[in-house]
């Protein structure tokens, strides 16, 4: 069993991530007011999740301490292994997210910090993309469970 460490949203492309103590999770908008969740072409990528364990490995490999929002992910959790979890369900608080795959590691990350793209690529360190399958509210310190679709 894992837990939510922090939640972040971004209201437009290129804007800074904003930390939230909680956020609504809806099928219409994804998480909170994050611009990516409401995009029609992004329904399989409404919410992005990374793990503290993997982010710590990335920072260790780079020899620096970057804030996890540099990754532009929505939720950072700990205590759950997300590698090869496509099709699994993440239960966070009273919401359910279906993992649709590994979160793509884009070239913009290299502009954030040299070597970041390469450090995020192995073993799903860059996190997962997910779509909302049951609406709810997510809070810091909520329990996180990873389970099968059935």
Q: Which three-class secondary structure state does DSSP give residue 70?
A: helix
- CATH number of the domain to which 138 belongs: 2.40.33.20
DSSP string, 93-143: TTEEEEEEEEPP--THHHHHSTTHHHHHSGGGTT-EEEEEEE-EEEETT-E
Q: Which domain holds residue 37?
A: 2-142
Q: How many domains does the chain have?
A: 1
The answer to the question of residue 25 being in a domain is yes
Residue 148 included in any domain: no
Q: Is residue 137 part of a domain?
A: yes
39 vs 137: CA distance, rounded Å? 20
CA dihedral sign, ordered 11, 118, 129, 97? negative
For residue 150, tell me if it sits in a domain: no
Bridging pattern class, strands 75-78 and 47-51 = parallel
pLDDT digit string, tens, across residues 17-56: 999 999 999 998 999 989 888 765 656 789 999 999 999 9
| Residue with tokens 């993440």, as numbered in its chain | 90
Q: How confident is the model at residue 149 (pLDDT cuts 50, 70, 90)?
A: low
Comparing 41-45, 115-119, 124-128, which segment has the lowest mean pLDDT?
Answer: 41-45
| Torsion sign over Cα 106, 110, 113, 117 | positive
Enumerate residues 6+ apart whose C-beta is below 8 A from 130. 45, 46, 47, 48, 49, 90, 97, 98, 99, 100
Residue 149 lies in a domain: no
């Amino acid at each position: 069993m894992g837990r939510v460490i922090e939640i972040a949203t971004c209201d437009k492309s290129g804007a800074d991530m904003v930390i939230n103590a909680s956020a609504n999770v809806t099928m219409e908008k994804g998480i909170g007011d994050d611009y990516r969740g409401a995009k029609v072409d992004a329904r399989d990528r409404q919410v992005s999740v990374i793990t503290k364990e993997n982010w710590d490995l990335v920072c260790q490999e780079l020899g620096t301490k970057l804030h996890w929002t540099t990754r532009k992910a929505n939720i950072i959790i700990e205590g759950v292994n997300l590698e090869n979890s496509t099709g699994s369900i993440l239960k966070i608080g009273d919401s359910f997210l279906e993992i649709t795959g590994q979160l793509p590691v884009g070239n913009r990350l290299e502009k954030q910090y040299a070597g970041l793209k390469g450090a995020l690529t192995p073993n799903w360190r860059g996190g997962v993309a997910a779509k909302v399958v049951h609406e709810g509210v997510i809070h810091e310190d909520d329990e996180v469970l990873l389970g099968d679709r059935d």
